[in-house]
Amino acid sequence: MKVVLVFLLFFVCESSHAQEKVSIIPRPLKIETNNGHIEINAGTKVFLKGSSIKLDAPAKYLIQSLEKQTGIRLEISSNSVSRNFIQFEQINDSSLGEEGYNMEIKSEGITLKANTSKGISYGIQTLLQLSPISKITSFEVPALTIEDKPRFKWRGALLDCSRHFYSVETVKKFIDLMAMYKLNTLQWHLVDNPGWRIEIKKYPKLTKIGAWRVDRGNEPWSENRTPAKEGEKATYGGFYTQDQIRDIVRYASERAITIVPEIEMPSHVMSAIASYPYLSCKQKHILVPTGAIWPITENYCAGNDSVFQFLEDVLTEVIDLFPSKYIHIGGDEANLSNWKICPKCLARMKTEKLDSIAQLQSYFIKRIEKFLVSKGRKLIGWEEILEGGLSPEATVTSYKGIKGGIEAAKLKHDVVMAPCDFLYFDMFQADPKTEPIAPPQDSWGLYVPLIKAYSFDPVPAELNTKESKYILGVQASLWTEYIPTPEHLEYMAIPRIFAVSEIGWTMKENKNWEDFLSRTNVNVLRMQKLGYNYCKTTLTAPLTFSK
């Protein structure tokens, strides 16, 4: 009896010790713990076996990141070594797909195999999570056999840089965060009413005028903010130059992240109209809004061909900057009351034989889609693009909930699930009484604690197996009306971004809230050591909240 107890105790201690060491997010497909460990130190050599894919970039990333984490600087060896190595190898294994990898950690060395450099990058992220964050000269990694690949191919986060502007450094730090947790798509919200954030050479006023607003940061974000007065200095804002954008796109791609630019239309574009009034139906001069606008009635005119010329010019420059297959064109929340009384819009309806304003909206989106397709790109838009008939090849982001996504999938359109009630990370994540201000609960505000985000499954029960194939994946949204600083941004993102990471990557049968929470507790401390802010209260916040 005693012997059994001692053995049990030993076993419990051993496994909790191991658990503390192995706290990978997102949880891998298969992970087997073996006996022993490898010691990593300055003598550990990185070796790239074969050269059919570019593995030198991932190798450089590993070396840089590990040095940042531990102070240990590894070197690349041009010859294979038999001990104390980290070896990358390209293989041809269809079961791993484009993003999967295998990693064998043994006492003599670590072997990481994948079909692509992306797969290698994800293996590196796993290895970095198995490495400490403290300045040391050596550390142990337990012997493991890992076989891993994602459940979904779109694992995204939206960053709204319009409502508040963030520096290049902040955007890169956000990209680092995404990369660490194997997210692969950044939807970069560069256009909205209170700020146009992307340099367009052909239309310099977009950033000369549209990127700047009168600062009302001392008043809470709402429709009640004092509007800008004519002649008042617009001092809040900024934009990314094309050079900065190229640099950020490259930075992201080195981390296996694709940036999908979001260029809003036909609504959420008052910053553009303030720059070029001819773009709206009324063609009247307006100022860049200082805060929220609701309903949004100042939109691009659907009857004016110069508007389409403008948009094609803008998109041409956008396409040149972003290699991404997808271009997000927004499409949400347009109040189209001006279209109903605009002679040009009415004339367009007549010539195009459109019976409703919804159909005119659909005409607008289809025309843009045709242009994007002619440039070899794909259109993605918020679920409103379903209204009045969906453009033939469009992909839909479902955000009001999952209904739009279900509808689109049944119509055989690809879908990204980004439901506000589970994955809007601008929302309160714990008791509103003690949290920093977020969208108000008596208006459009919701309550999205970590446990709620984690409970989301992207494939609704309403879809059969065939229809489920249209679910490309998931996305979390960081809208930033209430998020003026980088510290606050991190506070809203961490740890909830871990949840979207695991929803997007880990197979459903491997998900487990208690297990995820224990790994999250380890990972928030890691993030803190890396200089990120995070929210502690959401770790224990209940699923529902009673006022």
| Residue ranges in contact with ligand TNX by CB under 6 A | 332-333, 382, 399, 424, 426, 439, 479, 481
Catalytic residue among 268, 328, 369, 384: 268
Single-letter code of the amino acid located at 282: K
How far apart are alpha carbons 481 and 9 in whole angstroms?
51
Contact at 8 Å (CB) between 520 and 478?
A: no
Catalytic residue among 147, 148, 192, 264: 192
Shortest distance (Å) from residue 326 CB to ligand TNX: 16
Active site residue 164: no
Shortest distance (Å) from residue 239 CB to ligand TNX: 19
Q: Tell me whether residue 382 or residue 516 sits nearer to ligand TNX (CB atom).
A: 382
Catalytic residue among 104, 333, 407, 515: 333
Taken in order 466, 471, 473, 474, the sign of the CA dihedral is: negative
Write the Ramachandran bin of 473: left for phi over 0, alpha for psi from -120 to 50, otherwise beta.
left
Contact at 8 Å (CB) between 380 and 394?
A: yes
Q: Tell me whether residue 63 or residue 269 sits nearer to ligand TNX (CB atom).
A: 269
**3-class DSSP state for residue 423?**
helix
Question: Which residues, including other chains, have CB under 8 Å from residue 269's CB and lie 6 or more apart?
Answer: 191, 192, 193, 279, 298, 299, 300
Where are the strands (E) in 404-457, listed by range? 415-417
How far apart are alpha carbons 103 and 457 in whole angstroms?
28
Q: Tell me whether residue 381 or residue 486 sits nearer to ligand TNX (CB atom).
A: 381
Closest CB to ligand TNX: residue number: 479
How far apart are alpha carbons 395 and 383 in whole angstroms?
9
Shortest distance (Å) from residue 334 CB to ligand TNX: 11
Shortest distance (Å) from residue 528 CB to ligand TNX: 27
Q: Residues 117-146, buried b or exposed e (16+ Cβ, 10 A)?
A: bbbbbbbbbbbbbbbebeeeeebebbbbeb
Q: Tell me whether residue 364 or residue 479 sits nearer to ligand TNX (CB atom).
A: 479
Q: Take residue 156 and report the two structure tokens written for it.
A: 């995204």
How far apart are alpha carbons 213 and 336 in whole angstroms?
25
Residues in the chain: 547
Shortest distance (Å) from residue 481 CB to ligand TNX: 6
Q: Take residue 244 and report the two structure tokens written for it.
A: 């900065």
Task: Annotate 339-393 with DSSP letters as a single string.
Answer: HHH-HHHHHHHHHTT--SHHHHHHHHHHHHHHHHHHTT-EEEEEGGGGTT---TT
Q: Tell me whether residue 24 or residue 329 sits nearer to ligand TNX (CB atom).
A: 329
Q: Tell me whether residue 399 or residue 428 sits nearer to ligand TNX (CB atom).
A: 399
Shortest distance (Å) from residue 424 CB to ligand TNX: 5
Instruction: Provide the CA 429 distance to its chain's centre, in angstroms.
Output: 18
Active site residue 192: yes
Active site residue 247: no
How far apart are alpha carbons 197 and 329 in whole angstroms?
15
User: How would you class 487 by CB atoms within 10 Å of its CB: exposed for 0-12, middle for 13-18, buried for 19 or more?
Assistant: exposed
Shortest distance (Å) from residue 160 CB to ligand TNX: 6
30-41 and 236-237: which strand pairing?
unpaired
Shortest distance (Å) from residue 148 CB to ligand TNX: 32
Using alpha carbons only, how large is the chain's radius of gyration in Å?
25
Shortest distance (Å) from residue 17 CB to ligand TNX: 42
How far apart are alpha carbons 430 and 434 in whole angstroms?
8
Shortest distance (Å) from residue 315 CB to ligand TNX: 19
**3-class DSSP state for residue 268?**
coil
Instruction: Provide the CA 304 distance to its chain's centre, in angstroms.
Output: 34
Q: Which residues are catalytic?
A: 192, 268, 333
